[in-house]
Amino acid sequence: MSTIAFLNIAMQGHINPTLPIAAELVRRGHHVTYHTSPAYHEAIKATGATVLPYPGGDPPMPDPPMPVTLIEGLARTTVCLLPAVLSDLHDTRPDLIVHDSACPWGAIAARELGVPVASSFTTFAYNRSVPSPTSGSWTLLASAAVHPGNVRGYLRARREMRRHYDIRGVPPFDLGNICQALNLVYTSRAFQPGTEDIDASYRFVGPSIGSRPADPSFPIEQLQDPVLYASLGTLFGADPAVLRSFATALAPLGGTVIISTGHTDPATLGPLPANVIARRSVPQPQVLERAALFVTHGGMNSVNEALYAGVPMLVVPQGADQPLVARRVVELGAGLSIRNHDVTEDSVGALARRLLDDPRFRAAATTLKAAQHEAGGYGRAADELERYLRESGPLGRRAPAPLDPSQRG
């Protein structure tokens, strides 16, 4: 069988969808290696893949995560990681590299080794309807004018990349949107906006949801219907006052209300109604299977999981691509949206009651549920990768370039 190497960035939302694919490829007999941040070592090891941690600990994420800081951070991380990554890849000699769409070092490594390469999109596929945040735009130019130091840092890193490596195929600026001849997108075509602008290299494989370790401490059997669930994810810090508003607004409407607080200490929410469970983390797919309503930040993985379960949503975007995701949920009738600064107990309560009382929201979510399941999930993604490998064949490869000893990690 083949050796398949995954390379990813240090973000849970980008890693999680790839884990069931890695596990499925291992189950089919492939040797899978996974280059990643040390923080995700155990989760990846559980798939059966060989874990190859990036050197030097967890690569820092840009703070604040704006387009101009993102492209500088990705370029600098590429310069830092490539010597060690290439050394590992020369040893494992993969037949295929699968990299995240915001992982330039994966794209460059594939070109250096001359192996087939696929890209992994945990967002929408970017197009005119969904512009990439790192594409050349007036917003990016305005941000660059305010942060000239980041621009200089990016240009230095880009020059360093070009000096040592073949960077053809890596966009000049759009480092969050690195496409290949095969691009896996983890949602259904029905949920993707502007599909008329998307070519056949993009395969909408649907949510990649596999089995996750059970949490024996979570009282899933004791939940009372209707179950109402709220989470603002882990990327942006959740304001305790906002989370408390969710709890107090939903408590009169639900049998059990579940609040996932993420990095926020549940104790900071203060005393809560008796039917509210507040925890830092919960087994989200299991909870969504029981939920009648999901109050969410609109992260792509969370929304895909909610649609996979057919749950209507109240979306409270916090940043990044979440406003675009919220807009699509509303366009398709599967939920409503509210701005973060408009969140009060009264506003959330009124919108939640509307979502629960109007059957059209549940009907739209159920229609999208069917599309999400029909897309195929991680099994379809593994099929696409195997097909791509067969089609690429030995003629699509060239011999790996000899590694410069000065670049060994």
Domain with 44 in it: what CATH number? 3.40.50.2000
Residues 68 and 185 placed together within one structural domain of the fold: yes
Cα separation, 307 vs 313, in Å, equals 9
- Are the C-beta atoms of residues 303 and 281 closer than 8 Å to each other? no
What does the pLDDT read at residue 236? 61
Q: What are phi and psi of 296, to 5 degrees?
A: -135, 155
> What domain range is 297 assigned to?
220-372
Domain presence at residue 258: yes
- Are the C-beta atoms of residues 184 and 381 closer than 8 Å to each other? yes
Domain presence at residue 65: yes
Q: Which token pair is 243?
A: 């989370």
Q: How many CB atoms sit inside 10 A of residue 116's CB?
A: 23
SS3 (DSSP) at 152: helix
First vs last Cα of the chain: how many Å apart? Answer: 28
**Cα 162 vs. chain centroid, distance in angstroms?**
28
Tokens 């919220």 found at: 326
Tokens 């994420």 found at: 61
Torsion angle, alpha carbons of 171, 175, 177, 179, to 10: 50
What does the pLDDT read at residue 395? 40
Residues 273 and 399 placed together within one structural domain of the fold: no
For strands 276-279 and 202-204, give the pairing.
unpaired
53, 57, 49, 54: which is closest to 18 by C-alpha? Answer: 49
Residues 241 and 302 placed together within one structural domain of the fold: yes
What does the pLDDT read at residue 138? 57
Tokens 């996932």 found at: 260
208, 231, 370: which is closest to 298 by C-alpha? Answer: 231
- Are the C-beta atoms of residues 203 and 129 closer than 8 Å to each other? no
Residues 274 and 401 placed together within one structural domain of the fold: no
Q: How many CB atoms sit inside 10 A of residue 98's CB?
A: 30
**Residue 293 identity:** L
- Are the C-beta atoms of residues 79 and 165 closer than 8 Å to each other? no
Domain presence at residue 214: no
Cα separation, 27 vs 181, in Å, equals 25
Would you say the pTM of this structure is higher than 0.85? yes
Beta bridge partners of 276: 257
108, 75, 90: which is closest to 7 by C-alpha? Answer: 108
Number of domains in the chain: 2
What does the pLDDT read at residue 60? 67
Q: Which token pair is 189?
A: 């075509």
Domain presence at residue 31: yes
What size, in residues, is the chain?
409
Domain presence at residue 151: yes
What does the pLDDT read at residue 70? 87
- Are the C-beta atoms of residues 147 and 68 closer than 8 Å to each other? yes
What does the pLDDT read at residue 128? 87
Domain presence at residue 128: yes
User: Which residues of the chain register pLDDT less than 70?
Assistant: 59-65, 136-138, 140, 144, 234-237, 394-409
Residues 124 and 245 placed together within one structural domain of the fold: no
Residues 191 and 276 placed together within one structural domain of the fold: no
Q: What are phi and psi of 113, to 5 degrees?
A: -90, -15
Residues 322 and 398 placed together within one structural domain of the fold: no
Domain presence at residue 215: no
Residues 320 and 385 placed together within one structural domain of the fold: no
